[in-house]
Amino acid sequence: MKKRELGKTGITVSELCFGVLPMGPVQYGLSPEEGGPIIREALERGVNFIDTAQAYNTYPHIRHAFKGLPNGGQDVVVSTKAHAKTYRDMEAAIEEARSELGRDVIDIFLIHAAREDSKVFADRRGALDCLVDMKARGKIRAVGVSTHSVDVVRVGTNMPELDVIFPIINIAGLGILHGTREEMEQAIAAAAKAGKGLFAMKALGGGNLLTDRKAALDYVRGLPGISAVAVGMITRDELEMNLRLFNGEEVPSDLAERTKRQKRLIVQYFCVGCGTCVETCPNSAMTVVDGIAVNDKSKCILCGYCAPVCPQFAIRLV
């Protein structure tokens, strides 16, 4: 497994980053006992980089994966993020991560800002100031932002407070906001040139690009400026497949078939049309039509954020 420097952070990461979102309660709901061993196997086979978030509720899965490691997993690079707006809320999010992950220092802590434009840096100034202070106090090693927005990447490039940018990018341009795929490619390259560390999210379009996983991953892996690619995994087959692709190894055809699983979002009949999912969706992929939520597949990146907010539990990703 190739390892790369993440910008000027001094942090070295494996090219494959284990995305923990899908195994958590927001999507597939694996328990820590089910998901933890899959993360652990990845760590034992050369992955040293994990992407999570306060909102994913997956710290217990990661903690489970670290159990029994000689140094308690302190060598593993963990990136997490929070939706906090204020200094106080971000401080609480950092303390929660330190306590639940069982480590004094969090490697990378990001402003979690999927759909927001560059006003996010003013609107959530308190949270950003907190990250900068906590880095100075040694509680985190690098500060950054996770985003779907070309605008945020461009503005973030010129902000000395930011060490890391975690943008969406994929071969189909799914989910990119405030610009095209090509504009995002250019923004990423410019950010890297300015010394930011970049790793990519949604290379597989939230599951929409699984029919040609290799082409989708190769596209992102080949982008100038991208040090690592976060890929969500919930099964040993998916881990095996991704390890083989990132290591340049042959993929048996039966394994390729088994990992073509295409996710779908289903709105069940008992939706009451309350619109909570419409407000939550970062991609404007939900609307309420005649009293029932309708999913626009051309905009939906299957992130799963809408499912847990539905008061009727009417949204399922299967």
Pick the closer one to ligand SF4 by CB: 23 or 191. 23
Minimum distance of ligand SF4 from residue 107's CB (angstroms): 27
> Rounded to an integer, what is the distance from CA 233 to the centroid of its chain?
11
Minimum distance of ligand SF4 from residue 218's CB (angstroms): 24
Q: Which stretch binds ligand SF4 (CB under 6 A): 33-41, 72-80, 223-231, 293-301?
A: 293-301
Minimum distance of ligand SF4 from residue 158's CB (angstroms): 29
Residue 46 near ligand SF4 by CB under 6 A: no
Give rounded-to-5 percent helix, strand, coil for the chain. 35, 20, 40
307 CB contacts (<8 Å, ≥6 apart)? Answer: 26, 27, 315, 316, 317
Minimum distance of ligand SF4 from residue 274's CB (angstroms): 4
- 237-276 footprint of ligand SF4 as x/- string (CB under 6 A): ----------------------------x-x---xxxxxx
CA-to-CA distance for 9 and 165, rounded, in angstroms?
12
User: Which residues make beta-bridge pairs with 265?
Assistant: 317
Residue 209 near ligand SF4 by CB under 6 A: no
Closest CA to 207 of 22, 58, 79: 22
Closest CA to 283 of 309, 308, 307, 302: 302
Residue 283 near ligand SF4 by CB under 6 A: yes
Pick the closer one to ligand SF4 by CB: 75 or 296. 296
Give the H or E element holding residue 107.
Answer: strand 106-113
Judged by the rule CB under 6 A, the positions of this chain that interact with ligand SF4 are: 265, 267, 271-277, 280-281, 283, 285-286, 288, 293, 295, 300-306, 310, 312, 314-315
